[in-house]
Amino acid sequence: MAEKIILINDLRSSALQVPAVPEAPTGLLSDALGRPLHDLRISVTDRCNFRCVYCMPKEVFDKDYQYLPHGDLLSFEEITRVARLFIAHGVEKLRLTGGEPLLRKNLERLVAMLRALPTPSGRPLDLTLTTNGSILARKAQALKDAGLDRVTVSLDAMDDKVFRSMNDVDFAVADVLHGIDAAHAAGLGPVKVNMVVKGGTNDDQLLPMARHFKGSPTILRFIEFMDVGASNGWNMREVVPSQEVVRRISAELPLEPVAANYSGETASRWRYVDGGGEIGVISSVTQAFCGDCSRLRLSTEGKLYTCLFATRGHDLRALLRADRSDLELSGAIAQLWRGRADRYSETRTAETGIGQRDGARKVEMSYIGG
Ligand SMILES: Nc1nc2c(ncn2[C@@H]2O[C@H](COP(=O)(O)OP(=O)(O)OP(=O)(O)O)[C@@H](O)[C@H]2O)c(=O)[nH]1
Ligand SMILES: C[S@@+](CC[C@H](N)C(=O)[O-])C[C@H]1O[C@@H](n2cnc3c(N)ncnc32)[C@H](O)[C@@H]1O
Ligand code: SF4
Ligand code: SF4
């Protein structure tokens, strides 16, 4: 048991260094590969009420699994302070994630605090959230009222039996669909739906999912099963390449490519030739998109991760709780981003994809935030 906790929790974080000369943010930061910082993904909890087989398999995340104690979590005030600094550094998109973010009590209070932040660039802040949809129907209106712009909902099948076996807690498709409808009704649309495609498990659901959402305001996106973390038993044989996904859907519902909405978008866009709307494919395994990656992740306990496949975080909470000034924190963030050279998906091989990287365990997605 002790070994399990040590393996899963990230014990290899480094202190975030404060530069000797503090510097004010200019809104223009580039990493070592020339990529700007645009998108901060904030994990608000490492807990989840699902046990998706590709993310939190039951055998690992069982009743003995120890989640972070409450005092380790960043408070809403701490998250808001950090978000303000990131916005000053040029971040224009905040995504709340987890674990299941809607399990964090009073999340709408955090949404309202983030919404109230000033945006020195004058450009509006895109404030969004990724959820499994299980309690979205109850929360959608309060989230909208607090200032959330939109939501992304995960759903892996239309067939109830397949979906229940993928979330592994017997949760029904109809309840997620109800959450999606509630989000649209509250004005949190257009909702995006994420489907992780696992070959041999739910790839028979590609067309049922496409047929269901075609012609609706919902944008369906197919994600290649990724080797994130070290507990989901990933192997290349279960990855269905996006090209194959597009081929299978297009054979019945013809598709054509569409230009990206913005540089660094994770999804490649396709639209139905007959005007039935669009879909997206997220091809982290077969067509890596590190070249434009402008995403930084803040874990539930306040560590910064420069890549989804990182093995080590950088401890920002220690600085927050040591009463460092905003200028000092800003300098530390700038220094971290400038030194960033991550491009894991571009360098992945079938071997590096399994569990470890450079001899260390990759951090779990439920902990770092998806
Ligand atoms: N490899 C890799 N995968 C990512 C990265 N960011 C997101 N993903 C994957 O893409 C999925 C979709 O991410 P979302 O947060 O829904 O998408 P997004 O592209 O930020 O969404 P929009 O803002 O709506 O365009 C995630 O759940 C991950 O599986 C990344 O930086 N690297
Ligand atoms: C980690 S979850 C967190 C938010 C929320 N619990 C949810 O499921 O939407 C974020 C996203 O990561 C995706 N994800 C998790 N594990 C994955 C994997 N191994 N490969 C690809 N996507 C994955 C999920 O499908 C989900 O869309
Ligand atoms: S993908 Fe989301 S819903 Fe599924 S186990 Fe991971 S955190 Fe929970
Ligand atoms: S693998 Fe790392 S660097 Fe590449 S897109 Fe994903 S998070 Fe960005």
- The annotation status of 300 as a binding-site residue, yes or no, is no
Lowest mean pLDDT among 4-18, 100-114, 176-190: 4-18
269 contact partners, CB below 8 Å, separation of at least 6: 257, 258, 259, 260, 261, 278, 279, 280
pLDDT single digits (tens) 308-347: 999 889 999 999 999 999 999 999 999 999 999 999 898 8
What is the model's pTM? 0.96
Ligand nearest to the CA of 56: 3
To test ligand 3's pocket by mutation, which of 49, 154, 155, 156 has the most ligand atoms within 8 angstroms of CB? 154
Distance CA 205, CA 126 (A): 31
pLDDT for the residue numbered 12:
65
pLDDT digits (tens, 9 = 90+) for 200-212: 999 999 999 999 9
Is 293 annotated among the ligand-binding residues?
yes
Give me the CATH topology for the region 30-354.
TIM Barrel (3.20.20)
133 CB less than 6 Å from ligand 3? Answer: no
Confidence band for 8, pLDDT divided at 50, 70 and 90: low
Q: Give the ligand 2 atom nearest the CA of 156.
A: 25
Is 80 within 8 Å of 44 (Cβ atoms)?
no
Q: What is the mean pLDDT of the chain?
A: 93
What pLDDT shows up at residue 1? 40
Cα 351 vs. chain centroid, distance in angstroms? 24
pLDDT score recorded for residue 280: 98
Tell me which residue of 197, 195, 200 sits closest to 176, measured CA to CA. Answer: 195
pLDDT exceeds cutoff 90 at 265: no
User: Rounded distance, CA 101 to CA 42, Å?
Assistant: 9
Domain chopping of the chain, boundaries: 30-354
Nearest CA to ligand 4 atom 3: 343
State the pLDDT at residue 82: 98
Index of the ligand 2 atom closest to the CA of residue 226: 20
Residues 156-174 as b or e (16 or more Cβ within 10 Å = b): bbbbeebbeebbbeebebe
Where does the pLDDT of residue 264 fall: very low under 50, low under 70, confident under 90, or very high at 90 and above?
Answer: confident
pLDDT digit string (tens) for 23-58?
Answer: 888 888 999 999 999 999 999 999 999 999 999 999
pLDDT at 11 over 60: no
**Which residue's CA is the nearest one to ligand 4's atom 7?**
307
